Amino acid sequence: MAAGVVVAVLLVLMAAIVALYVIRGRTANWPPPNWIFAACDVGQGDALVLAAGPAEAVVIDTGPDPAKADHCLTVLGIHKVPLLVLTHFHADHVDGVPGVLKGRTVTEIETTNDPDPPRGVSEVTAWARTAGIPTTVATVGEHRRFGPVSWDVLWPDPNVSPSTPPEPARKSHRRGRRQARASPRGGGEEGSGPNNSSVVLQVTVSTRDGPVRLLLTGDIEPPSQAAILAAHPDLAADVLKVPHHGSAHQDPDLFAAVHPRVAVISVGKGNTYGHPAPRTIQLVSGTGARVFRTDDDGQVVVFGTAARLRVATRRG
């Protein structure tokens, strides 16, 4: 439903003043005006949207369900997708691709450089070929822009092994940390290669009173988190997409460096992975961020400007 009963949480974040407004059971236009970013409610998976113009958006991942991906974009009023970024090829990030393609103009699909798992690669290749959409590979250092949205690709870096990240010249508490275990099936388990090969984007959105910064992290885990932080110490962002659905497998240094005002966890209700982990929620909250999660809040939309950043949520 394009406009229905909305559960909206308006979060005004200004300098030292934080005011929280909760509006329940009201009918309102959706999405909110001047919206910047949306996390779709697609169950256990990621589907993120960056507003790039009227009825136009860059989409990052699609979730596991084409119908839910299509519904989210329909509710947001998106008809054109100049770029669809697939952070990695796990089903919970790519199986919704047909829903994004349904009735929309998709100009390009960009993916990670890690062709694993093969099933996801073959599916995406077939969908792109059938639709006549060219595919490209995200490259570290790549800078792109669509409308008010620009970003830099921070990861994956083919010159750095995420299983043996460089040791940053910072606190020594990394010593003795368990290395991520390899996943024999290339699935969504902790320590899988595809997770650590997720495309990571450092995004800047121009607003009338300054830029809003976002860090979109796919499913990266501590090995890649440490490597990214070593290469890019300035990761400060207003909005953080919490890695890997709020898994317990996180590097606290990354959250401290990002120090977000808003943290979004894209996760499915009742999932069997224990996502999001209570310790991760506590870790993110400890940075001062207001945490939103799609299993409880539904679709999460960030809107407003740099000085007056707000968040609205809705179910259905």
pLDDT of residue 160: 85
Average pLDDT for 64-73: 98
Average pLDDT, the chain: 86
Exposed/middle/buried for residue 142 (C-beta within 10 Å: 0-12, 13-18, 19+):
middle
Which residue type is seen at 203? V
pLDDT of residue 188: 46
pLDDT of residue 161: 74
Which residue type is seen at 239? V
Indicate whether 116 pLDDT > 80.
yes
Query: What pTM value is reported for the model?
Result: 0.87
Percent share of the chain, pLDDT over 90: 79
| Bridge partners for 145 per DSSP | 150
Q: What is the spatial distance between Cα 108 and Cα 41, in angstroms, rounded to a whole number?
A: 23
DSSP type of residue 69? H
| Bridge partners for 98 per DSSP | none
Measured CA to CA in angstroms, residue 132 lies from 93, 115, 124, 194 at distances of: 21, 20, 12, 26
Report whether 148 contacts 206 (CB < 8 A). yes
pLDDT of residue 29: 84
pLDDT of residue 2: 44
Q: Domains in the chain, please, with CATH?
A: 33-168+187-297 (3.60.15.10)
Q: Is 129 helix (H, G, I), strand (E, B) or coil?
A: helix
Q: Is 302 helix (H, G, I), strand (E, B) or coil?
A: strand
Exposed/middle/buried for residue 159 (C-beta within 10 Å: 0-12, 13-18, 19+):
exposed
Per-residue pLDDT tens digits for 212-270:
999 999 999 999 999 999 999 999 999 999 999 999 999 999 999 999 999 999 999 99
State the DSSP H helix or E strand holding residue 294, giving kind and residue range, or none if neither. Answer: helix 294-297
Token pair recorded at residue 43: 């169950």
Nearest to 202 by CA among 133, 259, 142: 142
Report whether 221 contacts 195 (CB < 8 A). yes
Indicate whether 185 pLDDT > 70.
no
